[in-house]
Structure formats: structure tokens, C-alpha cells
Amino acid sequence: VQLQASGGGLVQAGESVRLSCAASVRTGSGYTFGWFRQAPGKEREFVAGTFRNNGIGYYAESVKGRFTISKDNNKNTVFLQMNSLSPEDTAVYYCAASSTVIFSARYSQDSYAYWGQGTQVTVSS
């Protein structure tokens, strides 16, 4: 499985960015997809995910109401729409996938077998 993340860049606080993750597998095939991020000097943390085919996104508290995860199964692409960005959202964002995620462990990066290369999002104040 290959994942290619894109869409990062430099934006100002309050602006929006949409990240894309192109997958080499069918996004409607039962895989769980997640977005994680790693800020400088910090550990990688969960941001958002969509569990298998239930179509329901789940989010870290810090991004709830601002970020939205979605999939285009025709294009095998997973998106992360990020609104109302703040400097605290500055990080490298990674997409991840796995076909074996257990629902109770969906927030853990250890549950994801496949990772994209990361895309940098920088939010200036």
C-alpha cells in the first residue's frame, strides 16, 4: 500500500487548507484511514480518521469542529479539510492506513501499518 500526501503549505492564521492523500488501494475497500501530525519537538499525534466503510469521521479534541476528514472512493483519495487554522496547527501531517485497525484502537498510530511521506503545514500568526 502506498500513500501520497499533498496540499500543505504556508498560510496565515484563520485560513484554510485541504490536504489530500492518494492511496494505491481502494479507499472504499474496508481500510481505515487516519491523519496524524508531528510538530517540532513533539511526538506524532492523532488528528482525524475514518473507520473502514462506516463513513463517520472521528477527531482529536483539538481539531473537532475545525477539521473534516472525507474520502472520494472514485479517486481513492482521502482529504483533510482544515479550517480556522492557528499557529498551533503547524506540523508535518501524515496520512496512514490499515486494514486491521480495531475500533477501540483507532486513535493509536501503532494501529496503522502504512504511512505516507508527510506534508508540511505552517500557520503564521
Averaged pLDDT for residues 26-33 = 91
Q: What is the pLDDT of residues 43-96, one digit of tens each?
A: 999 999 999 987 789 999 999 999 999 999 999 999 999 999 999 999 999 999
The grid coordinates of residue 24 equal 494505491
Q: Is the pLDDT of residue 97 over 80?
A: yes
- Predicted confidence at residue 41, as pLDDT, reads 95
C-alpha atoms less than 13 angstroms from C-alpha of 13 in its C-beta half-sphere: 5
Amino acid at 121: V
- Predicted confidence at residue 55, as pLDDT, reads 74
Angstrom distance (rounded) from CA 40 to CA 43: 8
Angstrom distance (rounded) from CA 21 to CA 79: 6
Averaged pLDDT for residues 13-37 = 95
Buried b (16+ CB within 10 A) or exposed e, 37-50: beeeeeebebbbbb
